Amino acid sequence: MSDEKTGHENGRQAGTILIRRHSVVTRVTHWLNVLCLTALLLSGLQIFNAHPELYWGQYGADGDPAFLTIGSAEDKDGLRGFVRAGGIEVPTTGFLGVSSFEGEPTARAFPAWLTIPSDQDLATGRRWHFFFAWFFVINGAVYLGYGFLSGHFRRDLAPRRGQLSASYLWHEIVTHARLRFPEGEEARHYNVLQKLTYLVVIAGFLPMMLLTGLTMSPGVDAAFPALLDLFGGRQTARTIHFITASLLVKFVLVHVAMVVLSGAWNNMRSMITGRYAIRESGPKA
Amino acid sequence: MTRISLSRRRFMIGSTLGATAAALAGYGALKPDAGGAVLRSAEQLTMKAHRLLQGRGALAREFLEADISPSFRVNGSTMPDSEEYAALLDSNFADWRLKIDGLVVQPREFSLVDLKKLPARTQITRHDCVEGWSAIGKWTGVPLGSLLRSIGLKPSARFAVLHCADELEKTLDGSGRYYESIDLIDAFHPQTILAYAMNGKDLSVGHGAPLRLRVERQLGYKQAKYVMRIEIVDSFSGLWGGNGGYWEDRGYEWYAGI
């Protein structure tokens, strides 16, 4: 987020200047990440459909107590879908457990319109997943290397002194809840809620996805048996992989909502061209 | 709102990243075979990375008796559907022979009694199905490496192909017959055994009687059941679909360590 002023010289709009907000590395890795995470999520749902149950511990198969089941059952009214967790069963026919595939109600955990590929094909789903997992890892390594070396993390993402005090955080939360977004000079930098959220995603969720994913591989377990101890078993890692993926989906929904609410076009332009418009406070000579 | 903005967003990505990313993403979807060459390229990378990180000898985790699954799911074939197998089962596998041939110095046949007389290895390991479930069981059997050493391999030997008694899919040309293959690194791995016992008892029919492969750093579909013959080869070109296994011929990775 350098302060190179461009808009002012171009004299586009009185009182509005364009600042360079995002570096080219941030922008390219961001969009590649969108591509990777979309492919990973949708092919991941295809893989999940092959055995739509989650367990805790070292083992888990049909007959072992499941933490979560997305299932189907046949009764007099036909196929019905359900989600079962902790003894509670919720009917989800039409979406989870049973959904329409080529016009027929079909028993499948996630519906065809949400999976890559759309028909039930574990082999192809796995190929998509592992291809984009490599892509995601390489892209992430580029971003992390850049973030440390360029000072992007220190300059833009590390919270400033005083930003972590309870009163300041509360003030930020209240302001955000009222959908009042920073303007003027304040808009030059991420606010503390953005910083904390991005740090949790970059240093928490995404590495967690990678590590739990690796723990599901018998080959990686042989190379790094400590992963099994870290997560308490392959099935626990699989469950955490799924939970973290759903947290990432929630992050994306909130992220996109914030992008739209705080100025869809300005934000989109800054993530594509790097330039972000801010209104200068006070009269400018 | 979310769906609209998401799809708009996806449109933006496509136009922003341009042809490269779109081509990468679209390639697999357009190819009717399982994934296409670009997607398949990741498999080689995965296998090389695994071999680099784990080396030849890294062992799969071994567990304690207390960790054994209360039930071990039976998957795939539960009973080979052939008169030949039925006759072998009737005789309690007295007439069963494991044939080892191909690129070996001296082809040989072993009866079940022969195999049980050889030094055995017992291991409690986790079985990971490609579908996602896991089960833990105790396996006893003969290390494949010691059998191959006693027979001697020719210099051109590269893979061990396991021919099985079961047919998973009825096909006119017989290509539904189960077979699997591993390379010599896995064949000589200390935990790679030809198991004749599970959880202290003779192998049940559902779990692959009389003999199944355990290759513990790989997924369930590599753990071939009902092994009848081991053929040492230098390539897969003469075998059914040419991809080295029943599931590999149906789109799954040959390297099943992930």
Number of domains in chain B: 2
Same domain, A170 and A274: yes
Question: Same domain for B17 and B134?
Answer: no
One domain, residues B23 and B133: no
Let me know whether A135 and A85 are in one domain.
no
What pLDDT does A282 receive?
Answer: 54
Report the pLDDT value the prediction gives residue B175, as an integer from 0 to 100. 84
Residue A210 and residue A145 share a domain? yes
| Same domain flag for B80 and B203 | yes
Residue B257, in any domain of the structure: no
CATH, residue B83: 3.90.420.10
Share of chain A above pLDDT 90, in %: 84
ipTM, 2 dp: 0.89
Distance CA A160, CA B211 (A): 65
Query: Does the distance separating the beta carbons of B5 and A123 come in below 8 Å?
Result: no
Region A82-97: mean pLDDT is 96
pLDDT at residue A8 above 60? no
Q: How far apart are the first and last CA of chain B?
A: 38
The number of folded domains in chain A is: 2
The mean of the pLDDT values for chain A is: 92
**Percentage with pLDDT > 70 across chain A:** 93
Give the residue numbers spanning the domain of A75: 63-108
Indicate which of B61, B191, B222 best probes the interface with A, i.e. most A CBs within 10 Å of its own CB: B61
Residue A82 falls inside a structural domain: yes
Q: Please provide the average confidence, as pLDDT, over all residues in chain B.
A: 89
For B192, other C-beta atoms within 10 Å of its C-beta total 24
Mark whether B29 and B115 lie in a shared domain. Answer: no
Please judge whether B17 and A32 are an interchain contact, meaning their C-beta atoms are less than 8 angstroms apart.
yes
What is the average pLDDT across B84-110?
97
Task: Find the mean pLDDT for residues A117-131.
Answer: 96
Predicted local confidence at residue A281, as pLDDT: 62
β pairing state of B177-183 and A68-75: unpaired
The answer to the question of residue B1 being in a domain is no
- Could you tell me if B16 and B88 lie in one domain? no
Task: Indicate which of A27, A122, A127, A259 best probes the interface with B, i.e. most B CBs within 10 Å of its own CB.
Answer: A127
Q: Kindly tell me if the per-residue pLDDT of B132 is higher than 50.
A: yes
Q: Tell me whether residue A137 is in a domain.
A: yes
Contacts of A48 in chain B (CB under 8 A): 132
Size of interface A-B (CB pairs under 8 A): 165
What's the CA dihedral at A152, A153, A159, A161 to 10 degrees?
A: -80
A164 shares its domain with A185: yes
Set of chain A residues whose Cβ sits within 8 Å of the Cβ of B2 = 253, 256-257
Residue B227 contacts A, CB cutoff 8 Å: no
Nearest CA in chain B to A62: B73
Cα–Cα–Cα angle for A42, A44, A46, rounded to 5 degrees:
75
Based on the fold, state whether residues B69 and B48 are members of the same structural domain: no
Q: Confidence class of residue B33 from pLDDT cuts 50, 70 and 90?
A: low
Which stretch, A74-78, A174-178, B157-161, has highest mean pLDDT? B157-161
Residue B35 lies in a domain: yes
Q: Residues 6 or more apart from A60 whose CB is under 8 A from it?
A: A53, A54, A66, A235, B133, B134
| A115 vs B30, more confident | A115
Q: Which pLDDT score, from 0 to 100, does residue A105 have?
A: 95
Residue A254 CB partners (closer than 8 Å, separation 6+): none
**Claim to verify: residue B107 and residue B158 sit in the same structural domain:** yes
pLDDT computed for residue B102 by the predictor: 98
Task: Clarify whether residues B35 and B110 are in a common domain.
Answer: no
CATH of the domain at A247: 1.20.950.20
Same domain, A58 and A68: no
Q: Return the minimum-mean-pLDDT range out of A15-24, B8-17, B224-233.
A: B8-17
Whether B153 and B229 share a structural domain: yes
Nearest neighbour of B35 by CB, restricted to A127, A134, A224: A127
pLDDT in tens, A175-201: 999 989 888 888 889 999 999 999 999
Q: What is the pLDDT of residue A86?
A: 87
pLDDT for B71 beyond 60: yes
pLDDT, one tens digit per residue, over A30-58 is 999 999 999 999 999 999 999 999 999 99
pLDDT of the residue at A182: 86
Nearest one of B123, B131, B12, B104 to B59, comparing CA atoms: B123
- Let me know if B37 is exposed, middle or buried by CB neighbors in 10 A (0-12, 13-18, 19+): exposed
Choose, out of A130, A134, A262, the residue to mutate when testing the contact with B (most B CBs < 10 Å).
A130
- Asked whether residue B113 falls in the same domain as residue B40, the answer is no
The reported pLDDT for the residue numbered B171 is 82
Q: What value does the mean pLDDT take over residues B114-118?
A: 98
Same domain assignment for residues B19 and B97: no
Lowest mean pLDDT across A267-271, B31-35, B60-64, B90-94: B31-35
Containing structural domain, residue B230: 65-250
Cα distance between residue B248 and residue B255, in whole Å: 9
Indicate whether B14 and B121 sit together in one domain. Answer: no
Chain B (101-120) residues lying within 8 Å, Cβ to Cβ, of chain A: none
